Structure 1
Amino acid sequence: MKKLRIGIMGAGQESLHSHFPNCLKNKELAEIAAVCDVNPENAKNAAQQFQVPAYYESHKEMLEKEELDLVTICVPNRFHEPLTVDALRAGCHVLCEKPPALTAEQAERMAAEAKKAGKILTYNLHYRYAPEVQMMKKMIDGGEFGTLYTGKVQAVRRRGIPGWGNFTNKAMQGGGPLVDIGVHMLDTALYLLDYPRPVYAAASSSDRIGKRGGAGLMGSWDPERFTVEDGLFGFIQFEGGISLQIEAAFALNCKEKQKMNVEIFGDLAGASVFQGEIYGEKNENLTDTKLPFVQEIDKRNISISNFIRCCAENDQPLITAEQGVTLMRIIEALYRSAETGKVVEL
């Protein structure tokens, strides 16, 4: 079988630590044919480091000159939509980093282009692949939780504002912790709830710590150039009476350095997903059950490998473009509610 040809868009730290090595782990199915980056030195260095035969400054030139089958996109959020659309129009399957885009409208255009091109568009929301999530998804689908009706999402750091990159630049990223770390836990909760249709969202946000500065656990940041939220706290109502609370923060004066978790509750059982615990009742006794044999895995590797396999076998990815649209509609509504102080209908 002819190997698929991969193009990697973006040669920053995340790409070097995840996209390149994990693509190389799938040598039986695909090969990295080219890399591009707006900084030509980054592209050149990545090509040399990973023995990639071609590198470019322009993604359009790479798409024109290389016969690519698929691309992975690892660039600032502002460029997710234009690069994805160009790649799809060039006949490539696309794995784009999270979040899908800056707006729901952009995510809708991306999904429409994928459908028009007949190509796969998926997102690197790799927490879905965690063994705890997959075990609980099977239990939920098997009816062991009964009817799920509420949950809680936490993606909180005590003082973890990144001191590098574009993470505090709203124009480049579209937001702060909600689109950086909160998006992972929100998507995980929605996946376990079978992606219900959202009805409305309400939220508040803060930038008090980010704009004041101070001690940090992830390097220092410039409070004068801090333009995103340092915390967002919200509520989402879905059809069928399902609700979610969400907490996403780069800096919150809590005890723990970091809390990344999803809690779900049904009428037969509930769970703390990333603690691997299930809370229920049996024979008129309350039960706490720990998931057995949960091993730490490289979720990014599984996500990228699954994408490559789906492209090779013409299979459907676990994360769909349509789910990306719903995710962005919710994120956009939470931000709008925090800005206006009003409930936002979806």
Structure 2
Amino acid sequence: MAVVRVGFIGAGSMANAVHYPSVVETPQTQLVAICDLNEERLNKTADRYGVPKEHRYTDYRRMLEREELDAVYVIMPPMGLAPIVLDCLKAGKHVFIEKPPGCNSDEAWAMAEEAERQKVKTCVGFNRRYAAVYRYAKSEVLKRGAISLALAEFHKDMLGQGPYYGMSILRTDIIHAVDILRDLLGEPVEVAAHVWSRYERWENSHNQFAALIRFDSGAVGILTASRTAGSRYERFEVHGKGISAYIRAPEQAEIHRQGEGVEIVTDEQLTGTTDRRITYGYLEETRHFISCILNDETPLTNFTDAARTMDLVERIERFATG
């Protein structure tokens, strides 16, 4: 395969902000076709990227039937995602989706198992794993040995807003921080958590989260998240053998080495830009996905891996009170 022919299902704001430009800027890809129910969005996006009218669709099934596609990006909210993804997988297409991987772990595992049956490549947009400062800091800690302790905190000022899509905010958003803990520490063996609400009540979701998780590596992870905080704030701590990393994704990381002082690295130093689409890992996750298709390798954040993250999310949710 010399070129990966890509089709998109979804032409919303998130897709246009990060996924379309990342695909177009990735070598050995060709944007072939676009589908969206909203014709205004569809045509605006297709015009921007020069997709001819005969390759524009409002029915994704017709796109799958008519177009010679290697991969499909399905960029849409979690409700209704799984049936569309399953159709793409059954058509033999490699598939990229945004998080979360469906509405629950049952949907996540259904997609993962179908992908395994079809022997196709899959990827979920857990972009933090691909962020330059995160990858650098993680690699520096691991050079000295295994990680002993990690913390992931992800807060937002959401008073008066309510949860995204009317679903648990842990599944739709804080899942990013849960996924980082799995990436750093392995698979969970014991979970203790408290999930509750303070200052306002949200239907189908709480707004305060704290968890203590023991992993099969012997390390421990700590999760904290408030959705009634003063601002958006995201940070990871990674502690190893005589080394600690404090990561303020995606802007910078502090590396503290025993007896050597502190190294500060920034997104601009590592990538040459402050464009968050690049520093926050969106471009890199697409390049990784396309590379895995071309080289017959398993993507880092594949559907099976993402289903395991969703499993951990649901284990934390079981500690909800009230």
TM-score by structure 1 length?
0.80
Q: CA offset at residue 71 of structure 1?
A: 0.7
- Residues 1:152 and 2:151 are matched in the alignment: yes
Gaps of 5+ in 2: none
After superposition, the C-alpha distances for 1:232-263 in whole angstroms (9 at most, x for unaligned) are 232222234322221223322x4xx2211111
Which deviates more, 307-316 or 60-69?
A: 307-316
Q: Summarize the alignment of residues 144-293 of structure 1 with structure 2, pairs less than 5 Å apart.
A: 144=144, 146-157=145-156, 159-160=157-158, 168-170=164-166, 174-176=167-169, 178-193=170-185, 195-206=186-197, 208-209=199-200, 227-252=204-229, 254=230, 257-274=231-248, 275-282=252-259, 287-291=261-265, 293=269
User: 1:208 is matched by which residue type in structure 2?
Assistant: Y
After superposition, the C-alpha distances for 1:157-207 in whole angstroms (9 at most, x for unaligned) are 2x24696xx95332xxx322x2344222332232222x2344324231326
CA distance in 2, matches of 1:181, 1:34: 29
Provide the residue aligned with 1:95 in structure 2: 96
CA distance in 2, matches of 1:326, 1:201: 17
Q: Does structure 1 conserve the Cα–Cα contact (< 8 Å) formed by 2:4 and 2:71?
A: yes
Q: CA offset at residue 92 of structure 1?
A: 0.5
Q: Does structure 2 conserve the Cα–Cα contact (< 8 Å) formed by 1:6 and 1:68?
A: yes
CA distance in 2, matches of 1:125, 1:147: 23
User: 1:237 is matched by which residue type in structure 2?
Assistant: R
Q: CA offset at residue 8 of structure 1?
A: 0.6
SS of aligned partner of 2:318: helix
Provide the residue aligned with 2:58 in structure 1: 57
SS of aligned partner of 1:7: strand
Provide the residue aligned with 2:46 in structure 1: 47
Q: Does structure 2 conserve the Cα–Cα contact (< 8 Å) formed by 1:154 and 1:185?
A: yes
Provide the residue aligned with 1:316 in structure 2: 298
CA distance in 2, matches of 1:265, 1:239: 17
- Identical-pair percentage: 24
Provide the residue aligned with 2:113 in structure 1: 112
Which deviates more, 34-43 or 94-103?
A: 34-43
Provide the residue aligned with 1:66 in structure 2: 67
CA distance in 1, matches of 2:178, 2:299: 19
CA distance in 1, matches of 2:106, 2:316: 15
Q: Does structure 1 conserve the Cα–Cα contact (< 8 Å) formed by 2:188 and 2:213?
A: no
User: 2:287 is matched by which residue type in structure 1?
Assistant: S
- Residues 1:20 and 2:20 are matched in the alignment: yes
Aligned length: 309
Gaps of 5+ in 1: 212-225, 341-346
TM-score by structure 2 length?
0.85
Q: Does structure 2 conserve the Cα–Cα contact (< 8 Å) formed by 1:95 and 1:124?
A: yes
After superposition, the C-alpha distances for 1:274-324 in whole angstroms (9 at most, x for unaligned) are 341123423xxx843334744446121111122122222323322232221
Q: CA offset at residue 93 of structure 1?
A: 0.4
Q: CA offset at residue 2 of structure 1?
A: 4.7
Q: CA offset at residue 339 of structure 1?
A: 4.7
CA distance in 1, matches of 2:225, 2:209: 5
Provide the residue aligned with 1:214 in structure 2: none
CA distance in 2, matches of 1:236, 1:209: 27
Q: Does structure 2 conserve the Cα–Cα contact (< 8 Å) formed by 1:36 and 1:43?
A: yes
CA distance in 2, matches of 1:92, 1:201: 39
Q: Does structure 1 conserve the Cα–Cα contact (< 8 Å) formed by 2:141 and 2:244?
A: no
Distance 1:291 1:189, change over 3 A: farther
**Which consecutive aligned stretches of 4+ in structure 1 deviate over 6 angstroms post-superposition?**
none
Provide the residue aligned with 1:10 in structure 2: 10
Q: Does structure 1 conserve the Cα–Cα contact (< 8 Å) formed by 2:189 and 2:214?
A: yes
Provide the residue aligned with 2:315 in structure 1: 333
CA distance in 1, matches of 2:179, 2:212: 15
Q: Does structure 1 conserve the Cα–Cα contact (< 8 Å) formed by 2:37 and 2:59?
A: yes
